[in-house]
Every structure is written in C-alpha cells, then in structure tokens.
Structure 1
Amino acid sequence: MKFDLHTHHYRCGHASDNIQDYIESAIKAGLQVIGISDHSPYFAHEHDHPQPNIAMARSEFPNYVAEVLRLKEAYKDRIEVLLGVESDFYSDQIELYRSSYEPYPFDYIIGSVHQTRNVSIFNRNRWKNLNEDQQTEEKKHYYELIRQSAQSRLFQVLGHIDAMKGYYPAFADIAGAEAEIDEALKAVAANDLAIEINTSGKTKDCGGWYPTDAILERALHFGADVTFGSDAHLPSRVGDELELVQERLREIGFTRWVFYRKKRKIVVPIY
C-alpha cells in the first residue's frame, strides 16, 4: 500500500495549486491513500491572517476542512483522502490548539516545531556567532520541544524532526544532544505516535531526507513507528521517493510503517 500523509496547497501562501490537484497527482502516482495536511492558522494571534506566506487565515480553517471532507466523499471510489493538518507546536498554547481542532473529524494531526526561541528553525542566521557550546544548547532545546510535543497527546505524527538542518546542514553534526534526541524518540514510542520520513529535505540546502539514518536507527531501537510524508508544496512532488524510503527503511531493519484513519493507527507491512 502506498500513502503520503504530508501535503500542502495554496491556502498556506507558499504552496501552489488546489487540494484536488494533489489528489489527482496521488492517483497518477499509484497511491491508495493521500493525506491533506496544510499549515494550521496561528490561533493565538490577534489578527486573522498575520503571516500570509506561512499559514492560512484563521477564518479559512473551516473552509479548508469542508473542502477536504467534500473531496474525501467525491473521490472515495478512487482513492482514500484523509483529513489532516500540520500544526505548529507552542508549549504555552497547546490547550488553545487542542480546543481549536476538537470540533473537526481529523484523521491525524502532524505536530511540527517550526520555531524555537521565537526564531524560525529555517533561519540560517540564527547560527551566526554561536560557539560550539551554544550550538549544542540550541540543539538540545529543539529536541526538548519535540519531546514535549510527543507528550502533549495532541498529535499522531511528528513532522520533520531534524529539519533544523534544512538550511544549516552542519546542524546534523552538532554533538552533545544525543540524550535529548533519545528522550524525544522514547516519548514518541511511549505515546504511540509516529515520526515521518519527510523527503522535502532534498529541496533544501541539506539535500536529503528528514531525519538522518542515525535517528531512524535510534527510532527503531526504541520501538518508535514511522510514516511517510513528501511535504509536497507542488502536486508533482506527491509520493516523491516513497519507494526509495521504503527500501532504506527495510535496510535499517523496519518491518512496518503506519498511517492514521480517524486517529487510529493503521499498520502497513514493509516487504
């Protein structure tokens, strides 16, 4: 079975095309399951649409859900369409986000840490003038937030858990945060979540998937499940490198990966 849980569309302001275009692309790619998971609004912000190039407007959120549900029904005989969302994780706003999602029938929610200390994880300037110890502290802090997100009981999937390397490839080589990474992976396993193998890293400076093989090996060791997400911002990237990811997971030792339907884990064997 082929599936892709991480796709975006025009509402987030930095992806192209309509939801239907991504579904059609998934069908052409031979997928049986496609998840729609655009960026959640900034629910805590006083303005309806504070960052139009990053996330959808708060007022658009019901329209987004309604469109996915309409297409889920329209395509039910051709492909399974799942209602998802990629949610920011802010430790001090978790209950607001929880209550904002509660009215809707999500199949899954992806929890992603996109900011630490109010700075984007993709901001390469954040690393300027930091010494080795300070870089290690930043990496530790990032994985502490990921651990907290796993323990929040809000998410089914944790998104791109080493995406800080996206525009700063040296992030992967910062030593000293191994214990924090392990604690985050233990929390994923303990709370029955999954981490995604996200192939969008190939479009960034790091030029590879999230996360590294080393983290995937630790995830397997701790019994954490994995899932697949292209993080497509163009319909043509739906399912991108899915077979290569499956092959690599098999080489590492994984025998299964998962997706979610009505927030229940569906296990798919890796052959």
Structure 2
Amino acid sequence: MKFDLHTHHFRCGHADGNIRDYIEAGIAAGLQVIGISDHTPYFGSPEEQPFPRIAMAKQEFVNYVNEVLALKTEYEGKIDVLLGIESDFFPEHAEAYRSMLNSYPFDYIIGSVHSTFNSSIFNKTRWKGLSDQEKVEHKEEYYNLIRQSARSGMFQILGHIDAMKGNYPAFSDIPAEAAIEDTLETIAESNVAIEINTSGKTKLSGGWYPSDAILERALFHGVHVTFGSDAHKPFRVGDEWEEVAKRLKEIGFKEWVYFKNKQQITVPL
C-alpha cells in the first residue's frame, strides 16, 4: 500500500495548487491513501493572520476542514483522502492549539518544531557569530522541544525531526548525541511516529529528514515510522516513496504506519 501523509496547498501562503490538485497527483502517483496536512493558523497570536506566507488565516481553518471532508466523500473508492494538519509546537501556546485541534475530526495531526529561540529553524543567519557551545545549546533546545511535543499527547506524528539541518547542513555535525538518543527514547515511550520526509532535497542539506543514523537509532528504540513528501507543489506528491521503502528495509524496518481516525494502521514494507 502506497501512502503520503504530508501535503500542503495554497492556503498556507507558500505552496502552489489547491487540494484537488494534490489528490489528483496522488492518484497519478499510484497512492491508495493521501493525507492533506496544511499548516495550522498561528493560534498563539490574537491577529487573524500574523504570518500570511507561513500559515493560513484563522477564518480559513474551518473552510480547509470542510473542503477536505467534501473531497474525502467525492473521491471515495478512488483514493482514501485523510484529514490531517501540520501543527507548530510552542509550549506556551500548547493548550490553545490543543483546544482548536480537538474541535475537528482530524485523522492525524503532525507536530513540527519550526522555531527555537524566536527564530525559524530554517533561518540561515541564526548561526552567525555563535560559539561552538552556543550551537550545541541551539541543537539541544530543538530536541528538547521535540521531546515536549512527543509527551504532549497532541500528535500522532512528529514532522521532519532533524530539519534544522535544512539550510545549515553543518547542523548534523554539532555534537548532541545524548539529546537525540533521549528524544528517540521519549518518542518511543510516547507511542508517536516519526515521518521520513523527502522535502530535504528542496533545501541546502539535500536528502531526507531524518538521517539514516537517526533512523537506525529509531529502529533500535522501536519508534514507528511513516512517510511524508511534504509536498508544496503537486508534482512532489509521493516523491521518492519507493526509494524510502527500500532504504528502510535495508536499515532493518519491517513495517511502517499511517493513521485514520487517529488509529494507527500498520503496513508491511
């Protein structure tokens, strides 16, 4: 069974195409299951849309849900359309997000850390002038937030857990092995899945999130894995699915998972 749980569309302000475009691309790519998972509005601000090129407006949230649900019905029998969402994780705003997300019938919620120390993880300039020790602190804080997100109970999937390397490939070389190990242990204990996300190819780092080294440790700890292209353009739906499946089998995984009605469904590799 072929599935892709991480796709976006025009509402977030930095993706192309509408939801139907992504569903049709999924059918063309041979998917049996496609998850629509655009970025949540920024519920941590009283403004309607404080970051229009990052996240959808609050008034669009219900329109998004209703559109996906309508398309789920329309495409029944052709492809299983799942209602997902990608949510930021800010500890100080977690309850506001939890309240909003619990108000709708999501099949799954992806929790992603996109910001630490009030700066985007993809901000290339955030590393300038930092000492080696400060770089370690930034990496450790990133994984600290991922651990908190795993323990929150808000998410079925954690998104791109080493994406901070995206525009700063040297991130991978910053020593923080204990933080990563602790994070994978926490994820396993929390029974949350991680995605293999193939959008790293669109950043300076290239490749996938997370690295093979992290996936090997994830297997050791019994962490469940899933697949997400993180497509922001329809042509990327299902991108490198076969290559990811092959690599996971080489690492030693026997299965991966997806979620429907927030229930985990296991698929043999």
Q: Which TM class, normalised by the smaller chain length?
A: over 0.9
1:186 and 1:219 mapped to 2: Cα distance? 8
| Partner residue, 2:267 | 268
Residue 70 of structure 2: aligned partner? 70
Q: How far apart are residue 77 of structure 1 and its match?
A: 1.1
**Structure-1 residue corresponding to 2:177:** 178
Percent identity over paired residues: 64
Measure how far apart 1:144 and its partner are.
0.6
* Secondary structure, counterpart of 1:207 in structure 2: coil
Please say if 1:240 is aligned against 2:217. Answer: no
Q: How does 1:47-126 map to 2 (within 5 A)?
A: 47-126=47-126
Matches within 5 A, 1:86-235: 86-175=86-175, 177-235=176-234
- Secondary structure in structure 1 of the residue aligned to 2:59: helix
Instruction: Read off the aligned partner of 2:22 and give its amino acid letter.
Output: Y
Superposed CA offset, 1:99-144 (max 9, x none): 0011110000000000001100000101001111111111111001
Q: State the partner residue of 1:257.
A: 256
How many angstroms apart in 2 are the aligned matches of 1:187 and 1:26? 33
Instruction: Output the amino acid matched with 1:203.
Output: T
Code of the residue aligned with 2:79 in structure 1: it is I
Tell me the equivalent position of 1:36: 36
**1:55-90 deviation digits (Å, cap 9, x = unpaired):** 000110000000000000000110000000000000
Q: 2: distance between equivalents of 1:203 and 1:101? A: 29
Q: Give the Cα–Cα distance (whole angstroms) in 2 for the partners of residues 110 and 48 of structure 1.
A: 22
Gaps in structure 2 of 5+ consecutive residues:
none
3-state SS, counterpart of residue 49 of structure 1: coil
The alpha-carbon deviation at position 25 of structure 1 amounts to 0.3
CA–CA distance in structure 1, aligned partners of residues 206 and 102 of structure 2: 37
Distance between the aligned counterparts of 2:263 and 2:4, measured in 1? 16
> Following the alignment from structure 1 to structure 2, what is the Cα–Cα distance between the partners of residues 193 and 257?
12
Matched, 1:3 2:7: no
TM-score of the superposition, structure 2-length normalised? 0.99
Amino acid at match of 1:53: R
What is the distance in 1 between the residues matched to 2:164 and 2:138? 10
Structure 1: tracts of 5 or more residues without a match: none
* Larger deviation, residues 182-191 vs 220-229: 182-191
Shift of 1:204: 0.5
**Partner Cα distance (2:46, 2:153) in 1:** 26
Amino acid at match of 1:179: A
Cα displacement (A) at 1:226: 0.4
Q: What TM-score comes out, normalization by structure 1 length?
A: 0.98
C-alpha deviation, 1:186, in angstroms: 1.1
For the residue of structure 1 that corresponds to 2:99, the secondary structure is: helix
Q: How far 1:27 moved relative to its partner?
A: 0.2
**Matched residue SS, 1:210:** coil
CA distance in structure 2 between the partners assigned to 1:131 and 1:99 by the alignment:
39
Supply the distance in 2 between the matched residues of 1:102 and 1:134 (Cα, whole angstroms).
37
Shift of 1:187: 1.4
SS at match of 1:58: coil
- Cα offset for 1:199? 0.2
Return the offset for 1:179. 1.2
